[in-house]
């Protein structure tokens, strides 16, 4: 009982203090000084937070823990997104729902950012990983280009710049604030690139076997060779001949590790690992984080660091 009373008193003090703050800063807390921005997937959300900081009210559309490829927003959420100042999406088929919102939205003031604008894109290889289902067939035209841009820190700079430009467009009075924060983020991405380059260039192996083909841009930047179990879509099932191709590849290149993704079912990767007598390691495509990872304070940079540790282990043994 005493604890409860104490909590109530504490809460009252906190709320009084907060009210005080808001009153003092009445002018700067004017509703118009906060930009409401909806971002589709985690990396774009993280970049937005780092550029907009307290000047933006940033929302992540795909909820923590959800696999972003097959996720769909509710009508209620779509209505909220349409009332925002800015919508940021990745494009290239990553969010088919965003493309639908864009074609039907009835808010002329909504600034829509396709984060892949001006990025040097990579075509998807239409190769052996041609897992046809009727759904994929319909969506196939979206998959001409690989959407997983953010896994290359250098291309991610362009995505961050696209977000920064939209923030300036929506809120010109804070232009210098957004420019400065963007430059800091750019600097961190350049340092990350340096670390990847220096580390990976010294590793003897270059072949990575991943769950789905999310690491094409990373492979392109650091001269890795990516082989995926399920192609571009995490849900696709490889055929027995494709499975055989992967186990042959493992033997041929004397590979010791296969990578799984925290948000995808690890079963196939585990089957391959067991059959080939090799081990598994995580490699996070960062399309989303789990609630647990977010509570632990993990973000784009800490997970890119964990990914580099996994690559280092797998490619040096």
| 84 contacts: CB under 8 Å, gap ≥ 6 | 36, 37, 38, 59, 110
Closest distance of CB 19 from Zn ion, Å: 45
Q: How many other β-carbons are positioned within 10 Å of the β-carbon of residue 70?
A: 11
Cα separation, 241 vs 258, whole angstroms: 18
Q: Hey, CA dihedral for 123, 126, 131, 137, is it positive or negative?
A: positive
Closest distance of CB 187 from Zn ion, Å: 27
Chain positions 270 to 299 lying near Zn ion, rule: CB under 5 A, are none
- Give yes or no for residue 269 binding Zn ion (CB under 5 A): no
Closest distance of CB 212 from Zn ion, Å: 6
Q: Which residue is at the shortest CB distance from Zn ion?
A: 214
Structure tokens at 28: 């700067």
CB nearer Zn ion, residue 50 or residue 284? 284
Cα separation, 42 vs 301, whole angstroms: 12
CB nearer Zn ion, residue 47 or residue 150? 150
Chain positions 193 to 252 lying near Zn ion, rule: CB under 5 A, are 214
Nearest to 4 by CA among 20, 15, 16, 12: 12
CB nearer Zn ion, residue 95 or residue 171? 95
CB nearer Zn ion, residue 171 or residue 261? 261
Cα separation, 114 vs 296, whole angstroms: 30
Closest distance of CB 317 from Zn ion, Å: 27
The answer to whether 268 and 274 have CB atoms below 8 angstroms apart is no
Closest distance of CB 148 from Zn ion, Å: 5
The answer to whether 37 and 52 have CB atoms below 8 angstroms apart is yes
Sheet bearing 86-89, strands edge to edge:
56-60, 35-39, 86-89, 111-114
Closest distance of CB 139 from Zn ion, Å: 13
Size of the site for Zn ion (CB under 5 A): 1
CB nearer Zn ion, residue 156 or residue 214? 214
CB nearer Zn ion, residue 145 or residue 177? 145
For Zn ion, the binding residues (CB under 5 A) are 214
């Amino acid at each position: 009982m005493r604890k409860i009373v104490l909590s109530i008193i504490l809460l009252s003090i906190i709320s009084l203090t907060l009210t005080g703050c808001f009153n003092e800063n009445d002018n700067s807390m004017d509703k118009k000084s906060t930009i409401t921005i909806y971002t589709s997937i985690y990396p774009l959300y993280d970049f937005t937070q780092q550029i907009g900081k307290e000047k933006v009210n940033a929302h992540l559309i795909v909820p923590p823990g959800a696999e972003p490829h097959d996720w769909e927003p509710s009508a209620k959420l779509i209505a909220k997104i349409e009332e925002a100042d800015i919508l940021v999406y990745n494009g290239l088929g990553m969010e088919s729902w965003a493309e639908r919102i864009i074609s039907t939205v009835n808010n002329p003031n909504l600034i829509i950012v396709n984060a892949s604008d001006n990025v040097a894109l990579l075509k998807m290889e239409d190769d052996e990983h041609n897992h046809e289902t009727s759904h994929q067939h319909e969506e196939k035209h979206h998959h001409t280009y690989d959407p997983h841009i953010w896994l290359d820190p250098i291309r991610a700079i362009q995505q961050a710049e696209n977000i920064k430009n939209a923030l300036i467009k929506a809120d010109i009075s804070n232009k210098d604030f957004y420019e400065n924060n963007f430059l800091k983020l750019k600097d961190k991405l350049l340092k990350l690139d340096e670390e990847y380059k220096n580390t990976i260039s010294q590793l003897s192996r270059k072949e990575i076997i991943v769950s789905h083909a999310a690491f094409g841009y990373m492979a392109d930047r650091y001269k890795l060779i990516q082989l995926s179990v399920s192609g571009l879509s995490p849900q696709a099932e490889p055929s027995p001949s494709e499975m055989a191709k992967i186990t042959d590849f493992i033997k041929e290149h004397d590979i010791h590790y296969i990578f799984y993704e925290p948000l995808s079912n690890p079963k196939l990767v585990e089957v391959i690992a067991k059959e080939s007598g090799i081990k598994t390691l995580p490699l996070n495509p960062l399309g989303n984080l789990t609630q647990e990872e977010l509570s632990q304070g993990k973000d784009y940079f800490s997970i890119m660091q964990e990914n580099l540790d996994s690559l280092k282990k797998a490619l040096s043994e």
